[in-house]
C-alpha cells in the first residue's frame, strides 16, 4: 500500500515537473520576441522586394514575402541621428529638439542627444519583462551618460558615433567597438556586419526564459565603402565600381538577416517573433538607388524619407501582403508594445500608431491622416495629408505641392493651381510644429545643404538657352 502510494506520488510529481518544463519551454505561449533591424542609408531600390534587380538580396526578399511589405513606409527624418531618435522613442524627434544630426563635440556634452527623460522602446519592453540588446550603430547620444546601457538596454555591442570603418579599428571614442562600455579588442572582430550578426545570434540563443528584444542597427551600407571578398563576388556583375562595393555591403546584411532567420527556425522561435526591417533614411547620393523616387538622404523628397520596410510575425500576420497606406517608423514603438501585451493607450506621449489592427485587416482606415517632417534647422519642412505633399526647400521662397499618388517622382509642382490645398497643408504643419521645441543644438549639415542647393541654383540660372538654328 505504502509502495503504491509512493509510486503515485512520484508519478504526479514527475507530471508536474514535465508540465512546468513544457510550459517554460514552449516558445509559442510566451510573449513574442521582437527584432528591429535597421540599416543605414539603404535606398528604396536596393532590395529585390522593392523591384531592385542588381543587388542580390535573396534572404530579405524571401523573409519580406512571409509578412507585410510597406509600399509607403516613411522614416521621420532624412538623416541618421534624428531618424533613430524618432524610431526609438515613437515620437517626432522635434518634440524634444533632436531634429538634426549631432555635432562632433557631443562626446563631452550630455545635453546633446536624446535626453534620458524620453522613454525608449527598450525601457517600455523591460517593463514587460523583456531582456534587451542594442547592437550596431547608436548615434542618438555620444556622451557615455546617453549610451544604450543608460537607455533601457541590458546589453550593448557596437559604437556610439555616426560612422565606423568595417574592420573595427578604433578611431577615437565614438568610433571604437564597445561591449557594455568596454572596448572590444580588434582581434576579436572580423567584418563589422558579420560581427553584428554573430552578436545578435548569441543573444537569441542564450538559454533564458525571458522574451528578448534586439535593436540591430547595422551601419551598412553607410560609408566608408568596405567589403570582403565573399560579398564582392556576389556583385561582380555590377560594372560601376562604387555600386559594386555598395551592393556587396548590402549583400552582407542580407546574408546576416538570413542567418538570424535560420537561428530562429532552428530554435523554434520564428513563429512567435515579430521582426521589422527598415532603413534609417533614403539611400545616400553616392551608389545607392532610390528609383522611382526623387532625391536622396538629407532631402524630404520621397527618395530621402521613403525606405525599404517590412514586418513579419508568422503567428499573427498573414504572409504575402503589401500594405499601401502611409505608415511611419514612429509606429514601431506602439506596434511592438501592443504585441508585448502592454496597454499602449497609457503611453500618451507617442506619435506613432499601433499597426497590428491595420495589417491584420481589422480596420481598412488609414493609420495616419497626416505625417510631418522638419529638417535643416527647421527651415526645411514637409507635410503629407492623403495624396498631397507640401514641401518647403530650405533656400526656396515658394512652397511646392505634389500629388504623390499621380506623381510619385514629384516632378510636377502643382502649388500654383491649388492654393487652397497649399494653405490647408501649411496650416496643418504650423499646428503640428507649435507642439515642437527648437532644435537643441546647431545643425552641423545646415551650411553644406544650403551651399549645395545654392550652387545647383546658380548653375541652373546661368545655364545658356539652347541656340536656335
Ligand atoms: Ca543613415
pLDDT at 6: 65
Region 134-152: mean pLDDT is: 97
Angle between helices 80-89 and 332-339 (to 10 degrees): 30
Dump pLDDT digits (tens) for 190-225: 999 999 999 999 999 998 899 999 999 999 999 999
pLDDT at 12: 59
- Please give the distance, rounded to the nearest whole angstrom, from the Cα atom of residue 37 to the centre of ligand 1: 13
Region 74-85: mean pLDDT is: 97
pLDDT at 396: 81
Cβ contacts of 352 within 8 Å, gap of 6 or more: 90, 91, 328, 329, 330, 331, 332, 333, 334, 335
- Please give the distance, rounded to the nearest whole angstrom, from the Cα atom of residue 383 to the centre of ligand 1: 21
- Please give the distance, rounded to the nearest whole angstrom, from the Cα atom of residue 80 to the centre of ligand 1: 4
By the CB criterion, residues less than 5 angstroms from ion ligand 1 are 40-41, 80, 280-281
Region 342-352: mean pLDDT is: 97
14 has a pLDDT exceeding 60: no
- Please give the distance, rounded to the nearest whole angstrom, from the Cα atom of residue 164 to the centre of ligand 1: 12
- 57 vs 462, more confident: 57
Dump pLDDT digits (tens) for 217-248: 999 999 999 999 999 999 999 999 999 999 99
- Please give the distance, rounded to the nearest whole angstrom, from the Cα atom of residue 280 to the centre of ligand 1: 5
**Is residue 310 a contact partner of residue 300, using CB atoms and an 8 Å limit?**
no
Give the confidence band of 21 by pLDDT, cuts at 50, 70, 90.
very low
20 has a pLDDT exceeding 60: no
CA distance 200 to 268: 16
288 has a pLDDT exceeding 60: yes
325 labelled catalytic: no
- Please give the distance, rounded to the nearest whole angstrom, from the Cα atom of residue 363 to the centre of ligand 1: 33
Task: Give the pTM.
Answer: 0.93
Query: What percentage of the chain has pLDDT greater than the value 70?
Result: 93
pLDDT at 25: 58
- 113 vs 451, more confident: 113
Grid coordinates representing 136 are 550596431
- Average pLDDT over the chain, rounded to whole? 93
pLDDT at 13: 57
pLDDT at 9: 58
- Please give the distance, rounded to the nearest whole angstrom, from the Cα atom of residue 40 to the centre of ligand 1: 4
Query: What percentage of the chain has pLDDT greater than the value 90?
Result: 83
User: Going along 314-419, which residue ranges are E strands?
Assistant: 321-323, 327-328, 370-375, 380-385, 388-392, 400-403
Cβ contacts of 385 within 8 Å, gap of 6 or more: 369, 370, 424, 425, 428
Q: Annotated catalytic residue: which of 80, 100, 155, 439?
A: 80
Q: Annotated catalytic residue: which of 77, 98, 100, 139?
A: 139
pLDDT at 207: 84
Phi, then psi, of 124 in degrees rounded to 5: -65, -40
- Please give the distance, rounded to the nearest whole angstrom, from the Cα atom of residue 55 to the centre of ligand 1: 19
100 labelled catalytic: no
418 has a pLDDT exceeding 80: yes
pLDDT at 447: 83
pLDDT at 23: 44
Cβ contacts of 250 within 8 Å, gap of 6 or more: 39, 42, 46, 47, 55, 57, 220, 221
- Cα distances from 191 to residues 159, 177, 187, 196, in angstroms, run 14, 12, 11, 9
- Please give the distance, rounded to the nearest whole angstrom, from the Cα atom of residue 41 to the centre of ligand 1: 4
pLDDT at 449: 81
Amino acid at each position: 500500500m505504502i509502495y503504491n502510494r509512493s509510486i503515485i506520488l512520484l508519478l504526479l510529481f514527475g507530471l508536474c515537473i514535465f508540465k512546468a518544463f513544457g510550459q517554460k519551454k514552449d516558445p509559442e505561449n510566451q510573449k513574442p520576441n521582437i527584432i528591429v533591424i535597421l540599416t543605414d542609408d539603404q535606398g528604396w531600390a536596393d532590395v529585390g522586394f522593392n523591384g531592385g534587380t542588381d543587388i542580390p538580396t535573396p534572404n530579405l526578399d524571401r523573409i519580406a514575402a512571409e509578412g507585410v511589405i510597406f509600399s509607403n513606409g516613411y522614416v521621420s527624418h532624412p538623416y541618421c541621428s534624428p531618424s533613430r531618435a524618432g524610431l526609438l522613442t515613437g515620437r517626432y524627434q522635434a518634440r524634444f529638439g533632436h531634429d538634426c544630426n549631432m555635432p562632433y563635440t557631443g562626446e563631452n556634452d550630455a545635453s546633446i542627444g536624446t535626453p534620458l527623460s524620453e522613454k525608449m522602446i527598450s525601457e517600455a519592453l523591460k517593463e514587460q519583462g523583456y531582456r534587451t540588446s542594442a547592437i550596431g550603430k547608436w548615434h542618438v547620444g555620444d556622451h557615455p551618460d546617453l549610451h544604450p546601457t543608460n537607455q533601457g538596454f541590458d546589453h550593448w555591442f557596437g559604437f556610439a558615433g555616426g560612422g565606423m570603418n568595417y574592420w573595427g579599428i578604433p578611431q577615437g571614442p565614438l568610433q571604437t567597438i564597445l561591449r557594455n562600455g568596454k572596448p572590444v579588442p580588434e582581434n576579436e572582430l572580423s567584418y563589422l556586419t558579420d560581427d553584428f550578426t554573430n552578436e545578435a545570434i548569441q543573444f537569441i540563443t542564450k538559454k533564458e526564459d525571458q522574451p528578448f528584444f534586439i535593436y540591430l542597427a547595422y551601419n551598412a551600407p553607410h560609408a566608408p565603402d568596405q567589403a570582403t571578398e565573399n560579398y564582392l563576388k556576389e556583385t561582380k556583375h555590377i560594372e560601376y565600381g562604387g555600386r559594386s562595393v555598395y551592393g556587396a555591403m548590402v549583400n552582407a546584411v542580407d546574408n546576416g538577416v538570413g542567418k538570424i532567420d535560420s537561428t530562429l527556425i532552428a530554435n523554434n522561435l520564428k513563429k512567435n517573433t515579430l521582426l521589422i526591417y527598415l532603413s534609417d533614411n533614403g539611400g545616400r547620393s553616392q551608389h545607392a538607388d532610390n528609383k522611382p523616387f526623387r532625391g536622396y538622404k538629407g532631402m524630404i523628397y520621397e527618395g530621402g524619407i521613403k525606405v525599404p520596410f517590412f514586418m513579419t510575425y508568422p503567428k499573427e500576420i498573414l504572409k504575402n501582403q503589401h500594405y499601401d497606406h502611409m505608415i511611419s517608423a514612429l509606429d514601431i514603438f506602439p506596434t511592438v508594445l501592443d504585441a508585448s501585451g502592454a496597454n499602449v493607450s497609457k503611453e500618451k506621449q507617442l506619435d506613432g500608431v499601433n499597426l497590428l489592427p491595420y495589417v491584420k485587416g481589422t480596420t481598412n482606415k488609414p493609420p495616419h491622416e497626416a505625417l510631418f517632417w522638419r529638417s535643416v534647422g527647421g527651415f526645411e519642412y514637409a507635410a503629407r495629408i492623403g495624396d498631397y505633399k507640401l514641401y518647403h526647400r530650405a533656400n526656396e521662397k515658394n512652397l511646392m505641392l505634389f500629388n504623390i499618388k499621380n506623381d510619385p517622382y514629384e516632378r510636377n509642382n502643382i502649388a500654383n493651381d491649388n492654393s487652397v490645398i497649399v494653405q490647408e497643408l501649411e496650416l496643418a504643419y504650423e499646428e503640428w510644429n507649435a507642439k515642437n521645441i527648437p532644435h537643441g543644438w546647431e545643425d552641423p549639415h545646415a551650411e553644406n545643404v544650403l551651399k549645395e542647393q545654392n550652387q545647383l541654383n546658380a548653375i541652373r540660372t546661368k545655364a545658356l538657352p539652347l541656340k536656335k538654328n
